[in-house]
Structure 1
């Protein structure tokens, strides 16, 4: 994997920022489960909330590899902050950047890139998870507006976000081809933030329910044409999956790092436990999986950056990296023994954070289905 001088500089900047600004917030987020609003403002000031956004819209103007690198490096310190960044950029900002009108771009992208606004993506519903095309939320045209009714669940950044890219049926009889996309601002009358979920991991990253009760959205806030919503959602899931793969990669490397450190310093039977083959082999496998995941993640990011098809590669990266993250975190707990089960050590948090990477942005069962379809088409 070849990194340019710009990539190396970006990596150093993000690593320094993560150690200085993100690391002190980890324990606070674990204790309070509060969204780190002040940290997000600092990330915006550092240019991290708009890395792949062109400079003309207030972004850093960097490439996709730089953006994925930022998620990777931040997730080594906090997977929760990593997913906040990933959702905000991949599916909260990118759809407007790629499918929005010039007026929409001028209105929203500079604020998103600066971290003044946080973005969210509202697709999943109580009865439509993996089968996203079966959503029930409706949008009925009424003069110069659409009236939205329905609900969404498991919305990352919900409650803290300033705008929500929301998908609803404008023509229920057309199924997926009747889905349209809308930019919904947080203070829209009839739009309500529902229950905040109590999660196993990623504490500090909000996950909420949304309710639309005759919420009136101006026609000019429709993203794309009527019926293009499902296509818009799917086209942005590739980079979304690469982002979650990068988050998982960060978890793998964090698990490996803390495990190596503990194994070298923990003494039993008069010698470090790292000298035991049962432990050293675990470390070896974690290291191999970390390198393999890294190659898959950055290969997919490079394809996306160059505008080449990457659906299969994005699914491969997401599936492999997330499975490897769960395995690495499990082994980290095992290597730490009883201490791995305690909140005083990072292995416990990594274990809780890793599991969801196998579930969101498309379950790993869905990823295997996608990969197999590419192979058999």
Structure 2
């Protein structure tokens, strides 16, 4: 056997062992067997054999724990401790919040697809479906968004009453307290429908059911607090808000200057030990109408009245609005979407210790409480609202582009417009898939904190693109506000969604990868915990175990990345064949490349990577793209793998995986250690950048589905308020879209047989219809159909006009119902 063949045997064998992730012991035995065969049958020189047997001796030593610990792990641990970035308590709490779900699989380089694909699809119970079809539908019917946003700057009294009486503020409250006890998926579906009708209504409903007093009481409150507040919240007798953000610290809880000092004071006529609060908060949704305020502050006990500590840290309390010293300020005005939002101030507010959520045992646990619940709420409120708005925009834009004509054809037939509509539909499918599958995981017991950040960022960013695209297609129709404008307020709401619950810029650059790299990685958190273990003997033992697991993991991912990049992942094992097989395989490929790049970056840059926010952001984009593509595949499977939906699935996956490729490329281009960048590029892009964005023909297949009443269009926009009735433009647009199938051939006949031949000379369609009827080109019935269609279209494309006095800021107070406590 020639030396070349022996080399190939050893080389391929090493690749196979690394690809399959065998243990160090198994690799040692396999190498030993191969070396024995080579020594006996090969023709290597004595010096070469000595070198190869030396490698075996080293492998044997590495299998001996005591040798590894003494000569490798313990010395490296000393260096590692110096490299380890500092971590505040708030960062530590954030890392420990929630659970690791599919995001953890994507960090492995070999995701276990069975874990995702075997999960039960989210389903509504009969009670939840009845709520969507009944109270939720009726609420949408009651909404006049122009009246809310322009005339009242508030919800009218009958809608406030309806929200309270039908339990819209009680979706997360258990039935034993009088709530609806809906699943996360049902909660999400309600917000999807409401946000397709009114951003103000959706925001008003979202807050009490998201991060706020109700959720905190459920998970951390004392029995007394739950029994008192939850029934009142469920009945709408109490309106809650939660005050975290302030003018000096924003959402940086670790820097909030708001304080609570334990002291003695007078409360209800008697002296007790309580907390004296001083705080200044802003951007607090529902604050102007709230009757009870959830408050985050830093708790101090300088006189040690409640224990041996003087500082407890961030703590949460529940403060009635009418408590002395509490001032609810005037309202903020968030970009013409006047949901109730405003500042709250507190000056020397003295409250009993019983007002602390969870009592004294939860003192100082406020940030952990908040981030644990944020891992769920972030997956629901904003992603659901963004999904509803996106679906409504696609539903409306597809119909408008069909009925709006320019140059004797529907504007949707222009390739430039079609490209935009395909992008809108593709992004909407992505956010809906992520929302649906992730809320289903929550109902299965997960609290996915990293996916929550990914959903918040990408759902709102995609909604921004969709809103811009919808405005571009609608042109003047989109920019003229008024009762007929069904896009304007949603367009204005987009920056609000992007800003709240943490600005998207920081979510992308600090949270997604920064939290995910530690929380989801199979070994990094174990190494950090071992390095910080005060029991040094146990710490070095655990560090040794994690370190060598990590080394093998990195080598395996380097090999897996190289092999799958060279073969385009064609031999990667995936759960399904058919049209979606290649997308599963490409996610496998990018998972290995991502995991390898992550390990090299963390090993070489250490704590400095935390400061290189652009690099972290790009790695976060890769992680997000893989996660969202996985959600698309699972969603397609959950919906029954309808062949008509394949263009949307293919566009979404191609777009996302192309993003993953390009962000990996940008990461390598900007990696500061250039020889390591070249080293990583060899394993990640040995054939260059081979993945392509969606093609134009694929986009056209989507446009063809969206511009017509098709099952694919209905599934992609399912769950919005589309009832055909006066005052609902979405329903009226769809009605016109359906009529277009009959009207368009008649229009074409008028144009071809009349206008082009000179038999019809009128310039407007009503005049052309009349002449076509006289010339026998149209029958009476056909003329009536075309007139009716033209009337409906013109009513839809017209915009509103106003007298100047109607647009002037400020209206008579008697015409506006300002929210008041007790009747809000």
1:34 counterpart SS class: coil
Q: Judging changes above 3 Å, is the alpha-carbon distance between structure 1 residues 238 and 355 closer, same or farther for their aligned structure 2 residues?
A: same
Partner of 2:315: 180
Partner of 2:180: 60
1:48 counterpart SS class: coil
Q: Judging changes above 3 Å, is the alpha-carbon distance between structure 1 residues 108 and 202 closer, same or farther for their aligned structure 2 residues?
A: same
User: Of the candidates 344, 366, 387, which is equivalent to residue 210 of structure 1?
Assistant: 344
- Residue by residue, what CA displacement relative to the aligned partner does 1:291-318 show, whole Å, maximum 9, x if unpaired? 1101111222223233323001111111
Q: Judging changes above 3 Å, is the alpha-carbon distance between structure 1 residues 172 and 33 closer, same or farther for their aligned structure 2 residues?
A: farther
Shift of 1:193: 0.9
Q: Does 1:30 align with 2:150?
A: yes
User: Of the candidates 338, 347, 367, which is equivalent to residue 230 of structure 1?
Assistant: 367
Shift of 1:190: 0.3
Partner of 2:488: 348
- Residue by residue, what CA displacement relative to the aligned partner does 1:321-353 show, whole Å, maximum 9, x if unpaired? 101111111111111112211103122211101
Shift of 1:217: 1.8
1:87 counterpart SS class: helix
Q: Does 1:106 align with 2:106?
A: no
Q: Once structures 1 and 2 are overlaid, which stretch shifts more, 136-145 or 298-307?
A: 298-307
Shift of 1:35: 4.5
Q: Does 1:221 align with 2:355?
A: yes
**Take 1:232 and 1:38, find their aligned partners in 2: how far apart are those partners?**
35
Q: Judging changes above 3 Å, is the alpha-carbon distance between structure 1 residues 297 and 31 closer, same or farther for their aligned structure 2 residues?
A: same
Partner of 1:253: 391
Shift of 1:158: 0.9
Q: Does 1:124 align with 2:245?
A: yes
Q: Judging changes above 3 Å, is the alpha-carbon distance between structure 1 residues 9 and 77 closer, same or farther for their aligned structure 2 residues?
A: same
Matches within 5 A, 1:321-360: 321-344=459-482, 345-360=485-500
**Take 2:122 and 2:225, find their aligned partners in 1: how far apart are those partners?**
36
Query: Contact 2:244/2:251 (CA < 8 Å) preserved in 1?
Result: no
**Take 2:189 and 2:310, find their aligned partners in 1: how far apart are those partners?**
37
Partner of 2:287: 158
Shift of 1:239: 2.7
2:399 counterpart SS class: helix
Q: Does 1:362 align with 2:362?
A: no
Query: Contact 2:192/2:388 (CA < 8 Å) preserved in 1?
Result: yes
Structure 1 vs Structure 2 CA RMSD: 2.1
Bigger strand fraction: 1
Query: Contact 1:87/1:240 (CA < 8 Å) preserved in 2?
Result: no
Query: Contact 2:189/2:384 (CA < 8 Å) preserved in 1?
Result: yes
1:116 counterpart SS class: coil
Q: Judging changes above 3 Å, is the alpha-carbon distance between structure 1 residues 61 and 181 closer, same or farther for their aligned structure 2 residues?
A: same
**Take 1:11 and 1:285, find their aligned partners in 2: how far apart are those partners?**
29
Partner of 2:163: 43
Q: Judging changes above 3 Å, is the alpha-carbon distance between structure 1 residues 342 and 295 closer, same or farther for their aligned structure 2 residues?
A: same
- Residue by residue, what CA displacement relative to the aligned partner does 1:40-87 show, whole Å, maximum 9, x if unpaired? 321222222111211111101221211121111111111111111111
**Take 2:240 and 2:151, find their aligned partners in 1: how far apart are those partners?**
25
Shift of 1:374: 4.0
Query: Contact 2:246/2:282 (CA < 8 Å) preserved in 1?
Result: yes
Query: Contact 2:148/2:155 (CA < 8 Å) preserved in 1?
Result: no
Shift of 1:209: 1.0
2:159 counterpart SS class: helix
**Take 2:311 and 2:218, find their aligned partners in 1: how far apart are those partners?**
22
Q: Does 1:90 align with 2:210?
A: yes
**Take 1:67 and 1:26, find their aligned partners in 2: how far apart are those partners?**
26
Partner of 2:328: 193
Shift of 1:358: 1.1
Q: Does 1:240 align with 2:377?
A: yes
Q: Judging changes above 3 Å, is the alpha-carbon distance between structure 1 residues 2 and 213 closer, same or farther for their aligned structure 2 residues?
A: closer
Q: Does 1:3 align with 2:90?
A: no
Number of equivalent positions: 375
**Take 2:129 and 2:173, find their aligned partners in 1: how far apart are those partners?**
19
Shift of 1:179: 1.1
**Take 1:115 and 1:136, find their aligned partners in 2: how far apart are those partners?**
32
**Take 1:283 and 1:245, find their aligned partners in 2: how far apart are those partners?**
21
Larger radius of gyration: 2
Structure 1: give runs of 5+ residues left out of the alignment.
none
- Residue by residue, what CA displacement relative to the aligned partner does 1:253-310 show, whole Å, maximum 9, x if unpaired? 1221221222122111112211212222212211111111011112222232333230
Query: Contact 1:155/1:207 (CA < 8 Å) preserved in 2?
Result: yes
Shift of 1:12: 2.4
**Take 2:369 and 2:256, find their aligned partners in 1: how far apart are those partners?**
15
Shift of 1:373: 2.3
Query: Contact 1:14/1:73 (CA < 8 Å) preserved in 2?
Result: no
Q: Judging changes above 3 Å, is the alpha-carbon distance between structure 1 residues 333 and 104 closer, same or farther for their aligned structure 2 residues?
A: same
* TM-score of the aligned structures, taking structure 1 as reference length: 0.93
Shift of 1:8: 3.7
Q: Judging changes above 3 Å, is the alpha-carbon distance between structure 1 residues 127 and 97 closer, same or farther for their aligned structure 2 residues?
A: same
